[in-house]
């Protein structure tokens, strides 16, 4: 099956009892057992397993070309499940240019358990590979990164690491439509399903996919033991969003290319960050490992905070808000929003400055979006 067909059908067979074409929302906490130790269809308690969740997990595994999928109550919960694979004394290599929530989780939660996180100011796979030590047990990367859209070479990192090191890729910005890290050698791929997979800014969720049965069993045990599971209604909503993932991503991409091209030619714009542009420093790697670009475009304005406030105040279609990946266009100010918890000196090292804006380009008519940006920048 091709991608769009799997997004609509994989794990979503018509209900055996009624023939319902859409997977039902199983709003139940517990299940009747047919005798001691005799579970009907393997279900006993909805924290442990729910048919709505199982259906979504099968869909996500298929879209990421993995054998196994697991869903969680948020992207941060999925990240936590993966980090639970580590032990005191382990070292994680990551980049400094990652989602602020991941940075916060690494630095303030897991670091106190004796896990060392090394934040590298690089998008070079070679530099990361050279830093691997005998204590390194995980490489955690985002590609594209948040918010500066750097690209890291997944295949090169997979080839350079030892077998006892896990390569984990947060694929939220690309979506499985444009990138499949497992095919490039990653051990685990993580998503905030809140974003492109759900696609409508109406649900919070997270997921992971893997082809490794041991990793799956460990993360599944954590899923049940810690209990950070999505509700069956949340699963239904994410799965409903996934059905239109291909058509949405194509529109996101088309709009983003036109907006990036507009911004790079505007006199008020200092720099545009978009891997689809030929001048992007990692453009060749993006071309190699991705099938296209999502709707994420970041840019820096000439001037300071006052100029930025002026632009934001004029926007009519772009909505100032957290998050990304919905059908509506959003504008985010990473300095005080998504990356507020990062210390000032590290923000400067990353390049998260007071004149940086991040756009999540939606699927509205692109002429309206361009007109909105034009008048806001005028």
3-state secondary structure the chain: CCHHHHHHHCCCCCCCCCCCCCCCCCCCCECCECCCCCEHHHCCECCCCCHHHHHHHHHHHHHCCCCEEEEECCHHHHHHHHHCCCCCCCEEEEECCCCHHHHHHHHHHHHHHCCEEEEECCCCHHHHHHCCCCCEEEEEEECCCCCCCCCCCHHHHHHHCCCCCEEEEECCCCHHHHCCHHHHCCCEEEEECCCCCCCCCCCCCEEEEECCHHHHHHHHHHHHHHCCCCCHHHHHHHHHHHCCHHHHHHHHHHHHHHHHHHHHCCCCEEEEECCCCCCCCCHHHHHHHCCCCCCEEEEEECCCHHHHHHHHHHCCCCEECCCCCCCCCEEECCCCCCCCCCCHHHHHHHCCCCCEEEEECCCCCHHHHHHHHHHHHC
42: confidence class by pLDDT, cuts 50, 70, 90: very high
Predicted pLDDT of residue 347? 86
Predicted pLDDT of residue 319? 98
Residue 348 confidence (pLDDT) above 90: no
pLDDT, greater one: 79 or 305: 79
243: confidence class by pLDDT, cuts 50, 70, 90: very high
Predicted pLDDT of residue 318? 98
Q: 3-242 adopts what CATH topology?
A: 3.40.640
Q: Domain boundaries in the chain?
A: 3-242, 245-377
335: confidence class by pLDDT, cuts 50, 70, 90: very high
Mean pLDDT across the stretch 250-273?
A: 98
Domains 3-242 and 245-377 share a fold: no
Predicted pLDDT of residue 291? 98
Predicted pLDDT of residue 222? 98
368: confidence class by pLDDT, cuts 50, 70, 90: very high
Predicted pLDDT of residue 343? 87
Predicted pLDDT of residue 304? 82
Interval 282-306: pLDDT, tens: 999 999 999 999 999 999 999 888 8
Residue 350 confidence (pLDDT) above 90: no
Mean pLDDT across the stretch 183-200?
A: 98
| Residues that are catalytic | 47, 99, 170, 195
Residue 4 confidence (pLDDT) above 90: yes
Predicted pLDDT of residue 294? 98
Interval 53-75: pLDDT, tens: 999 999 999 999 999 999 999 99
Residue 349 confidence (pLDDT) above 90: no
What share of the chain has pLDDT > 90, as a percent? 94
- pTM of the predicted structure, to 2 decimals: 0.97
- CATH class for domain 245-377? alpha beta
Predicted pLDDT of residue 113? 96
Average pLDDT, the chain: 96
């Amino acid at each position: 099956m091709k991608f769009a067909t799997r997004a609509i059908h994989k794990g979503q067979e018509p209900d055996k009892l009624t023939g319902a074409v859409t997977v039902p929302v199983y709003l139940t906490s517990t299940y009747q057992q047919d005798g001691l130790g005799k579970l009907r269809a393997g279900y006993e308690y909805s924290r442990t397993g729910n048919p709505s969740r199982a259906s979504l997990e099968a869909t996500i595994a298929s879209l990421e070309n993995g054998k196994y999928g697991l869903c969680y109550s948020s992207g941060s919960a999925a990240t936590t499940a993966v980090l639970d694979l580590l032990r005191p004394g382990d070292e994680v290599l990551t980049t400094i240019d990652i989602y602020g929530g991941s940075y916060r989780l690494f630095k303030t939660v897991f670091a106190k358990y004796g896990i060392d996180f090394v934040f590298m100011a690089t998008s070079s796979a070679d530099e990361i590979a050279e830093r691997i030590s005998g204590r390194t047990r995980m490489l955690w990367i985002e590609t594209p990164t948040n918010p500066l859209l750097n690209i890291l070479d997944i295949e090169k990192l997979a080839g350079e690491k030892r077998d006892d090191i896990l390569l984990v890729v947060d694929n939220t910005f690309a979506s499985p439509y444009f990138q499949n890290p497992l095919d490039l050698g990653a051990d685990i791929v993580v998503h905030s399903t809140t974003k492109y997979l759900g696609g409508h800014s109406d649900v919070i969720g997270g997921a992971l996919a893997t082809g490794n049965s041991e990793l799956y069993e460990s993360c599944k045990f954590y899923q049940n033991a810690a209990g950070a599971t999505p509700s069956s209604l949340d699963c239904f909503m994410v799965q409903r969003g996934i059905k239109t993932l291909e058509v949405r991503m194509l529109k996101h991409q088309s709009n983003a290319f036109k907006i990036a091209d507009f911004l790079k030619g505007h006199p008020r714009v200092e720099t545009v960050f978009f891997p689809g542009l030929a001048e992007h420093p990692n453009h060749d790697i993006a071309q190699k490992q991705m099938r296209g670009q999502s709707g994420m475009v970041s840019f820096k304005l000439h001037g300071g905070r006052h100029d930025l406030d002026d632009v934001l105040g004029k926007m009519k279609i772009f909505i100032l808000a957290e998050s990304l990946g919905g059908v509506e266009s959003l504008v985010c100010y990473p300095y005080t929003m998504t990356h507020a918890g990062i210390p000032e000196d590290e923000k400067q090292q990353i390049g998260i400055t007071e004149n940086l804006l991040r756009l999540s380009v939606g699927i509205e008519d692109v002429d309206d979006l361009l007109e909105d940006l034009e008048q806001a920048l005028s």
